[in-house]
Structure 1
Amino acid sequence: MRKAAETLATAIRAGARHPDVLFNYSTACDQLGLSTEAVGAVQLAIQQDDERADLWAHFGRLLIDAGRAAEAVPALERAVALAPTSESSWYNLGIALLSTGQAASAVEALSKVIDRNAGNAAAWAALGAAQQQAGDLEASDASLQRALEIDQEILSAAHNRAVTLRLLDRSAEALDLLEGAISRGLNAPESRLLRSHLIADVGRLQEAAESYRAIVTENPSSIEAHELLARLLPQIGQADQALQAYEDALRRQPSIELYRSAVQAAWDLKQPAPLERWSKIALQQFGDSPEMRMMLGMAYGLAGDTAEALSIIEPLGAAGYAPALSPSAYYRLKSGDLQAAERHALAATEANAVDQAAWSYLTIIWRLLEDERERWLADYERLVMRVPLEPPTEFSSREDFMSAVAEELTALHHSQDHPADQSLRQGTQTRGNLFDKRSPRVRQLATSIRQAVEAGIAGLPRDPTHPFLSRTTGSTRFLGSWSVRLRSGGFHVSHIHQQGWLSSAMHIALPPEVGTPSEVAAPPGSLAFGIPEAGLGLDLPPRRVEIPRPGELVLFPSYFWHGTIPFKSRDYRLTVAFDAVPA
């Protein structure tokens, strides 16, 4: 092949410009791994004759191989326009479209291949991947299954079908499929990571932790595995080991990306010592950055040194680094300097009008200042909304529906302790996005909740100056959803939801000791609003207390401070929570 390429190159240098000569030279260069020469030769051939489908098809395939899929699309579109029956050109066009995120067009192109050759396993596999990207999961599953029926050795199809099955909430089936493919030689890093996810999904959390640990041991730069391992270990009673894998990886293979992930994990898990140490090392090794400098300040604040935290964070905000404004407000509030805290919080809301943390600080600052704007911002009587859930027609009552939902939710609680980066204490939280589950009861619950939310917010007035009321549209989109199961002594620390606009507590099942009126201002298990987080050191009573009732939503702006009162019981307190934004 090299001799042929050299002969053709000699002819081309001598002036040969026939498209066949250039095409053959391009083909030879391609086989020799000379991609630049291959592309250049076929481009020259197209200049001589731009009506040849084979030249355009070859050009498009070379561009795909070179990682230039966006450029390949028009070349392959030209190829299929000139030769509409070319199976390989339609296939390569589908691959190029899929690579550039044009899933619907990729499905159309790949379907043309299947129409011409229903036995083309590679086309079925690519079609299934395109359908997955387009969100048509049932069709994706069917296509990928067909690909594997034709040729079970297309291991990438096994991986992709496992992904689809997981999205369809069929993780046990996905795990069996993936492990079979791994036994036949599938060893891609993404497949090993997917296997770890699936093991966790089916409730084998200890095994999942070991699987994540094995991945980061072999590949210290696997950031996703690090992040999941660090947050999983506290839930299986191994909180003391949560950051050890980061420690080992940073010693073996340091990078700024890994340091960013590590310091975020240390912050989320409230570990000031590694947060301080890693921030300092990152600043030394990778240069000064406002992001890492702020994390150093946060480390001092987490350790209780408010003055040192402010000495680092405040100058960042003054220099124009907007993410430092909310933390500056927090630490000024903690130090008792309400005027400075207000100034920082207002600046944060001007930089980012949906900064829920900044608005939450203003609810407290204005309360302490006895400023009438507190009532405007945190109108607990109007903006904390109770909405009863309407059960599906197949249930005779709300109580029957809640009982059925409780049974399914309980089966989803696999861990033994709470996530260290969440608000609950003495309880467990489900993994992933609850409303993505395909179980009938959870889907019915999500539908009923959506209807209740839209009913609850329907009467809200518009106020263009208000951080909550200015965003009402009448409909919402769920960002995240989860279930919490608290045992005796359990509660939620007071917190806010930074990513949401509207948040909720949906009570599914309550112990007999919870949910009954009491002479106590905040009965056990009740939901309390307006108490700032304990770290601020402010002894303020709640502004509003809601006694939970099964089958009722409590809706509120995501920047409202809220938590629950501990309870004692032999039974569990089971809830569903979610964040939503305007649709």
Structure 2
Amino acid sequence: MSAAGAAAALRQAWTALQCGRPDEARALCEQAIATAPAGVDAWRMLAMARQQLGDAAGAEAALARAAALRPDDAAIAFEFGSVRLQRGDADGAIAPLRAAMAGLPAEPRAAFRYGTAAFVLGRFDAAVDGFAAATARDPQWVEAWNNLAAAHGRLQQYPAAIVAARAALALRPDAAGAHQALAALLSNLFDRPSLEQGLAHALRALALDPALAEAHRNAAVLLRKLGEPARAEAHARQACALAPDDADTVDTLGEQLLLNQRPADAAATYAAAIARGVDRPALRRQHGIALLQDRRAAEAVVALDDALLRQPDDQRAIAHLGLALAADGRADAALDLLGLHRHVHAVALEPPPQFADAAAFHAALADDIRRHSQQRWEPAGLAARNAFLSGDLLTDRTAAITGFERRLREAIDAFLARCRALPDAQRAGDAFLRHVPGAYRLHVWATQAAQAGYIDTHIHEDSWLSGAYYVTLPDAIADEDPAHAGWIEFGRPYAHLRGWPEHAVRTVRPRVGTLLLFPSYLFHRTLPYTGPGERISISFDLAAR
């Protein structure tokens, strides 16, 4: 076949494709390629024919040849990345789709598919970039707005996620799923107006679709935070009736039963779900917690051990396994597991260089916290009592806050380096050290309290390392105080979980300019104090990225 014949074969192949004859198109493309193997268009058309025939692997191979022949062609990169993504190879798709997104600035699908590949790979920052570009290129694309909201949500960037979800809802105001998605995001907030808005959207979703189990589940979470446990349990039960084999729905009901002081019912709920095959490490952990709360410590140890074998970095499982061991009479094993006296570290931070001294730095930092744009009084569902709590401290980019962030990151990076330098055998045998992250994300917030203000007992279950830095402390916090007023206390669990020995409680006197680092699984609280002056501190969570 001559070059002219190859061109004619391609024209015939295109006609065959348009008429639904992919077998004929494939044969004609193969004839053209036999004559002109470097013909990029022939390889692209062959890929289309193979794809119509259901030969995804063959289509990918043809596009790989086209991409090799014309590596800077964004359209080919788009087709090649799309085929790989459709085959489930997000890792192989992301590079060509990134090139397609850059090279086809008016094509929303290229940006959307890049965002999709990144989301599948857990690269949520990149997913945000892709979906944001898709919405900019096609502002009417509801799915792109929904996916942008989901990517922001995975990064716990809830304000941005909520903006995207509202944009999707504006395009489809009567879509039950859009109301449900917005309710789910609002359920992550802590101020009462946002929670009430979330509940309204969950109920609107149920009015549009009464069988939407997710909306019942989110209504339960929102009502829990709003202090309506009976209504929360009712919605959780309806969610379970509609979706009995959904693990998140089972957990919502079980958690509500625990909060409603019915641990035996919660344990039975988790056990029944696991027996039905609704089996996730988190459900096994929750089953163990329910057994512990029901004072069945030995059974709780078995369940929590099993949960940790399945998910060794589960912070709640580690925390409650320590409590279960102590309640079962094995306090030494509990202390060894948790490392209460090994893993609380104090680090002095130098003031940033742009401040004359530590006093000037702390005065500026305290002022920035007092007037922070996200400062809230006693947010619903959080541990602050009679205190102000900021949202993301780093959203206000003042000189003092950015200077603190630099010093904090330096201290964290140095601590991580020391942890990684420890012998492998030492790290492997330690519940904390065996999970030292590589790349990490940081969430930072501030607390401002006067007398009687405090942070109640809690852990940080979605991170690995937590910490507290002290900006301002009242005179009532003293070295020689047997009551430890204003100090931070580690080890003591929630009041309803008994069995933790008093000698295993550790208190640390806070000091201005000192950063405390500790495992996120350690139960901790601050003790109230009486007298003038403020207690202003900054906390952080570090989670693997």
- TM, length-normalised to structure 1: 0.69
Q: Alignment partner of 2:177: what SS?
A: coil
Q: Is the 8 A contact 1:212 1:229 kept in 2?
A: no
Counterpart Cα distance in 1 of 2:316 and 2:272: 19
Alignment of 1:487-506 (within 5 A): 487-488=449-450, 489-506=452-469
State the AA in 2 paired with 1:296: L
1:152 is matched with which residue? Answer: none
Q: 1:353 aligns with which of 304, 312, 329?
A: 312
Query: In structure 2, do the counterparts of structure 1 residues 427 and 105 end up closer, same or farther at CA, with 3 Å as the change threshold?
Result: same
Q: Alignment partner of 1:358: what SS?
A: helix
Query: In the TM superposition, what whole-angstrom CA distance separates every residue of 1:278-322 from its partner, at most 9, and x where no partner exists?
Result: 343344334555654454333322222223223323444567734
2:345 matched to 1:385?
yes
TM-superposed deviation, 1:579: 2.6
Q: Alignment partner of 1:246: what SS?
A: helix
Alignment of 1:13-412 (within 5 A): 23-24=10-11, 27-28=14-15, 37=20, 39-50=22-33, 51=37, 52-60=39-47, 73-82=60-69, 88-89=75-76, 92-93=79-80, 100=90, 102=92, 105-106=95-96, 122=106, 163=132, 186-189=139-142, 217-222=173-178, 223-232=180-189, 234-235=190-191, 237=193, 239-253=195-209, 254-256=211-213, 258=215, 272-286=229-243, 288=245, 292-316=249-273, 321=279, 322-368=281-327, 369=329, 371-395=331-355, 397-403=357-363
TM-superposed deviation, 1:561: 0.8
Q: Alignment partner of 1:54: what SS?
A: helix
Query: In the TM superposition, what whole-angstrom CA distance separates every residue of 1:383-402 from its partner, at most 9, and x where no partner exists?
Result: 21112224455555455555
2:122 is matched with which residue? Answer: none
Query: In the TM superposition, what whole-angstrom CA distance separates every residue of 1:7-62 from its partner, at most 9, and x where no partner exists?
Result: xxxxxxxxxxx8667644554576x6x7xx26555323223222332222334578
2:124 is matched with which residue? Answer: none
Query: In structure 2, do the counterparts of structure 1 residues 42 and 357 end up closer, same or farther at CA, with 3 Å as the change threshold?
Result: same
Q: Alignment partner of 2:440: what SS?
A: strand
Counterpart Cα distance in 1 of 2:109 and 2:247: 45
Unaligned runs of at least 5 residues, structure 2: 120-127
Counterpart Cα distance in 2 of 1:397 and 1:132: 48
- TM, length-normalised to structure 2: 0.73
Q: Is the 8 A contact 2:82 2:97 kept in 1?
A: no
State the AA in 1 paired with 2:541: F
1:531 is matched with which residue? Answer: 492
1:414 is matched with which residue? Answer: 374
Q: Is the 8 A contact 1:502 1:580 kept in 2?
A: yes
Kindly tell me the number of residue pairs found equivalent between the two proteins. 511
Counterpart Cα distance in 1 of 2:212 and 2:371: 40
Query: In the TM superposition, what whole-angstrom CA distance separates every residue of 1:311-339 from its partner, at most 9, and x where no partner exists?
Result: 32344456773433322332333233333
Query: In the TM superposition, what whole-angstrom CA distance separates every residue of 1:237-288 from its partner, at most 9, and x where no partner exists?
Result: 4544542321221331344555565556666777543443334334433455
Unaligned runs of at least 5 residues, structure 1: 1-17, 115-119, 136-158, 165-177
2:520 is matched with which residue? Answer: 558
Query: In structure 2, do the counterparts of structure 1 residues 427 and 97 end up closer, same or farther at CA, with 3 Å as the change threshold?
Result: farther
Across the aligned residues of Structure 1 and Structure 2, the Cα RMSD in angstroms comes to 5.1
Q: Alignment partner of 1:532: what SS?
A: coil
TM-superposed deviation, 1:201: 8.1
Q: Is the 8 A contact 1:532 1:540 kept in 2?
A: no
TM-superposed deviation, 1:529: 0.6
Q: Is the 8 A contact 2:13 2:28 kept in 1?
A: no
Q: 1:427 aligns with which of 367, 370, 388?
A: 388
Matched residues, percent identical?
21
Query: In structure 2, do the counterparts of structure 1 residues 444 and 271 end up closer, same or farther at CA, with 3 Å as the change threshold?
Result: same
Q: Alignment partner of 2:462: what SS?
A: coil
TM-superposed deviation, 1:414: 1.8
TM-superposed deviation, 1:428: 2.4
Query: In the TM superposition, what whole-angstrom CA distance separates every residue of 1:334-383 from its partner, at most 9, and x where no partner exists?
Result: 23333333333333333433332232123323334253213322343322
Q: Is the 8 A contact 2:44 2:62 kept in 1?
A: yes
Q: Alignment partner of 2:483: what SS?
A: coil
Q: Alignment partner of 1:366: what SS?
A: helix
Q: Is the 8 A contact 2:149 2:165 kept in 1?
A: no
Q: Is the 8 A contact 1:388 1:452 kept in 2?
A: no
